[in-house]
């Protein structure tokens, strides 16, 4: 049986460049659909005039700045967090414009073109770099996932395809969502992207673990964490790099 990687393997066996090239930048139709769904959901959310604030936290951002490209237009201060040191280093190299960093310019152009602002992509790139104020470790299994750091509650939190890859079972998933919501201020907004029915995904030849969850379960976990769901969207989806059945986007407000 093939090895299934999880947990601390994200610090040793997770190839950040391979992940970005195959699961973000690829021109394979399935990945383009994946990116289009992310764009549509974030465009609907971040284009709302009342969805703004000084501070946003990204939990489990991975080795990508894809979500921050949208968030920086509404939140001038983004705290980026991830469990994996390799992922944090990849993002930090890009933010500092270090030689050898992944080149996100074409993806930023893609987003700006979709918005009708293709000629302003360099301004957006600079905005993303300026908005990511800190890059820190997180562990969603702790009551304060950002320990040992302590912050005032955030105006918004976003997490994408993270919780289901970090939790061994459904009880720990629910507890992790509660830990994340603890970092959100009352009235703050939680944005979650989740893969549905997935048990693994491939990064190169390596198979990484994912907890199989469905839409009803994820909604229940968010509500039990003290949030009211404002919107939800599901897109049926399949590709050759995982066994998922679809993608779920939820936006919720902390009661």
Q: pLDDT tens, 128-174?
A: 999 999 999 999 999 999 999 999 999 999 999 999 999 999 999 99
Name which residue leads in pLDDT, 146 or 29: 146
- β-bridge mates for residue 249, sequence order: 193, 233
The mean pLDDT value for 244-255 works out to 97
Question: pLDDT at position 1, please?
Answer: 62
Cis peptide before 148 (omega within 30 of 0): yes
Per the rule left: phi > 0, alpha: psi between -120 and 50, beta: everything else, 134 is: beta
Question: pLDDT at position 48, please?
Answer: 86
- d(CA 12, CA 18) in angstroms, rounded, equals 14
- d(CA 211, CA 189) in angstroms, rounded, equals 24
pLDDT, the chain, mean: 96
* 96 has a pLDDT exceeding 90: yes
Question: pLDDT at position 239, please?
Answer: 86
Question: pLDDT at position 237, please?
Answer: 87
The mean pLDDT value for 69-74 works out to 96
């Amino acid at each position: 049986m093939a090895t299934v990687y999880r947990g601390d393997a994200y610090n040793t066996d997770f190839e950040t460049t391979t992940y970005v090239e195959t699961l973000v930048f690829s021109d394979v139709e399935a990945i383009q659909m994946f990116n289009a769904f992310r764009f549509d959901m974030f465009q609907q959310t971040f284009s709302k005039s009342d969805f703004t604030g000084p501070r946003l936290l990204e939990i489990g951002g991975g080795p990508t700045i894809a979500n921050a490209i949208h968030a920086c237009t509404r939140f001038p201060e983004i705290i980026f967090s991830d469990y994996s040191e390799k992922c944090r280093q990849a993002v930090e190299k890009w933010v500092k414009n270090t030689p050898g960093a992944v080149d996100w310019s074409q993806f930023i152009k893609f987003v700006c073109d979709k918005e009708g602002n293709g000629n302003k992509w360099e301004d957006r790139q600079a905005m993303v770099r300026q908005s990511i104020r800190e890059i820190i470790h997180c562990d969603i299994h702790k009551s304060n996932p950002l320990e040992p750091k302590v912050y005032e509650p955030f105006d918004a939190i976003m997490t994408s395809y993270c919780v289901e890859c970090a939790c061994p079972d459904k009880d720990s998933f629910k507890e992790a969502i509660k830990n994340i919501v603890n970092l959100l201020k009352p009235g703050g907004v939680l944005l979650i992207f989740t893969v549905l029915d997935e048990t693994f995904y491939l990064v190169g030849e390596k198979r990484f673990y994912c907890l199989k969850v469905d839409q009803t379960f994820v909604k229940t976990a968010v509500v039990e964490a003290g949030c009211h769901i404002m919107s939800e969207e599901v897109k049926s989806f399949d590709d050759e790099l995982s066994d998922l059945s679809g993608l779920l986007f939820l936006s919720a407000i902390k009661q």
